[in-house]
Chain A
Amino acid sequence: MSITLSAVNLKKNYNDVAAVRGINLEIKQGECFGILGPNGAGKSTLLKMIYGQAIPTSGDLFVLGLNTRDQMTEIKARIGVVPQDDGLDTDFSALENLKLFATYFNMEKNSAEARAEHLLHEMKLADHQHMHVEALSGGMKRRLVIARSLLHEPQMLILDEPTTGLDPQARLWIWNYFEKLKVQKKTIIITTHYMEEAEKLCDRIAIVDQGVVLDVGTGPELIKKYIGTEVIELEVEDQKNYWTSKIKNLDIEFQEFESKLFVFFASIDQRQNFLQHIQNAHYLIRAANLNDVFLKVAGYQIRGEA
């Protein structure tokens, strides 16, 4: 399978502050690739370098076989971007927004109009196409931005937190739509804070923090590698020391968080064994998920926004 994006020792400094400090990545054609990381991890800087609004300090970045250093115009003609800020033109209606955007791509007028109307219909915006974008709901605006990103039939899509701030129905609808795009074998790069979104959509996931890629793998691979199969959330309250020494003795992996312990199990048998030791404590058994991986790798603490 051919490589759609490759980053080689990619670095980016802003006034001597390193935002990206040596990223190596390869994204295959037709793959849905997730980039996870806490705020300030360098996700947005990485995406900005891909779509040409940040220039790498050093290293190489190739998109669709083209060099971001000197072929950005060609790259931009072939990728679609859903940025974090909608950036819709508030002086115009939904349909006008798409038509204007098409002119920036030098699309032929009639085919642009047909494509815009098709996408508005597909995004369930046909009834609202003449409304000013300011009057659209958050979900509608996002759908319009997704329509905008697809207008010129890009080979690759870049989605920067595409469902942040949306209600569950809107999010579900958008996920379903992305699934359809995946069937069409479009290469998709997505950043998100919703682990469920990453698990659902992404073929492979990179966990990024402090400007480096900590690990790359499929969702199940990462879960198995870092957590195991199941997690027990144990409410320990003031008996934390008792419980931590006990679990350490059993040689089981765990994480402390406030008055809770998250205990990770490689197998169901191991979990079954452990349960025999629990008396007089509240606990919850659940399947290990990407959220656990993320918290374990990136840490449990709230950080100041970088």
Chain B
Amino acid sequence: MIQVWLRNFLFFKKTFLVSLFWTVFEPLMYLAAFGFGFGRYVPPIEGLPFIDFYFPGLLCSTAMMVCYFESTYPNYTKLTHQKTFQTMLLTPLSAQQILLGEIFWSATKGMIGALGVMLVSIMFGLFSLKFIFILPVLFLISLIFAAFGLMVVSIAKNYDSFVFSTSGFIIPLSLISGTYFSLKDMPQLIQWLAYAFPLSHGVQLVRHILHGQTDIVFDGIHLLVLICYATGLIFFANKLFQRKMIN
């Protein structure tokens, strides 16, 4: 498993500077435009200035986006055009080890994305030592969406399949999961919908930790949902990937 992770790391090292630039530049744009610019016209939400409210959402959705994209397009190319996975399977590596290696690599990229957001947060005075405590939450989110990405890779018919999962699922999720607005004020239906998926739980948990509002019961549930999603999706991704590779 570690060999698969290492292979991706070696490739990442080659394009390190370009990657790093975007990792920092993107959250910088978002924080500047939404947090700093747009946020000035918005009254406090849940007792927090907009930029403080929005920042946990940006952290979580960045982790989600970065690892989702890392786990989909490059892996589909490895599966179809480059036959990288088929080559790995010629060695003692099993399909499961390849899958887990890829999931952990994508999750690593998700964490690098989140770290980029944290780095930029210094410029906006949002840096906090509490970041240490949200790292496991962000890692869980990354695992979930890396596993989701590899599930889509395992059933995709062509590159267009990712347009469905991106525009039909990932983007809407990044909008309705309590990232830009408070779910408390939303109709019941929207709340149920948002809490049916993992991102909103991650956003709530990170927000509560960063702003010292943790509640052992509610946040315990949020954490449990994330753990269940991560385990469940890795399990299903493994089934689908196995079926795709060996039949």
Contacts and interface: CB of A to CB of B under 8 A. Distances in A.
Interface of A: 14, 51-55, 73-74, 76-77, 81, 83, 85-92, 96, 100-101, 103-106
Interface stretch (B6-14, B106-114, B116-124): B6-14
B89 A52 contact: yes
Give 5 nearest A-B pairs by CB, closest first: A87-B87, A104-B91, A87-B83, A103-B3, A77-B92
A106 B92 contact: yes
A87 B82 contact: yes
Given A14-B247, A54-B246, A89-B84, A103 B11 contact: no
A104 B82 contact: no
Interface string B2-30: 01001100110010000000000000000
B245 A103 contact: no
B92 A53 contact: no
Q: Which of A51, A77, A92, A104 has the most CB of B within 10 A?
A: A104
A163 to B, nearest CB: 19
Given A86-B83, A90-B82, 19 more contacts: A52-B89, A53-B246, A55-B246, A73-B92, A74-B92, A77-B91, A83-B86, A87-B86, A88-B82, A89-B82, A91-B82, A100-B7, A100-B10, A101-B91, A103-B6, A103-B7, A104-B91, A104-B92, A104-B93
Q: Which of B3, B91, B93, B94 has the most CB of A within 10 A?
A: B91
Contact of B90 (A55, A74, A76, A90): A76
B88 interface: yes
A90 B6 CA distance: 16
A175 B245 CA distance: 31
A83 B90 CA distance: 9
Nearest to B81: A90
A130 to B, nearest CB: 13
A103 to B, nearest CB: 5
B89 A53 contact: yes
A101 B92 CA distance: 11
A92 B84 contact: no
Interface string B231-247: 00000000000000111
6 contacts: A53-B86, A73-B94, A77-B91, A87-B83, A91-B82, A104-B3
A80 B245 CA distance: 19
A216 B82 CA distance: 36
B245 to A, nearest CB: 7
B246 A52 contact: yes
A159 to B, nearest CB: 13
Nearest to A90: B82
A54 B86 CA distance: 12
B91 A76 contact: yes
B242 to A, nearest CB: 11
Given A85-B83, A89-B82, A105 B247 contact: no
B247 A55 contact: yes
Contacts of A83: 83, 86-87, 90
Contacts of B86: 53, 83, 85, 87
B247 A89 contact: no
A49 to B, nearest CB: 10
A133 to B, nearest CB: 10
Contacts of B14: 91
Contacts of A74: 92
Contacts of A85: 83, 86
B37 to A, nearest CB: 38
A73 B97 CA distance: 12
Given A87-B82, A92-B11, A81 B90 contact: yes
A83 B246 CA distance: 15
Q: Which of A52, A103, A105 has the most CB of B within 10 A?
A: A103
A199 B247 CA distance: 33
Interface string B205-247: 0000000000000000000000000000000000000000111
A57 B7 CA distance: 34
B11 A105 contact: no
Interface in B68-99: 82-84, 86-94
Contacts of A91: 11, 14, 82
Contacts of A53: 86, 89, 245-246
A105 B88 CA distance: 10
Contacts of B7: 89, 100, 103
Contacts of B93: 104
Contacts of A89: 7, 82, 84, 87
A81 to B, nearest CB: 5
B84 to A, nearest CB: 6
Contact of A76 (B11, B83, B92): B92
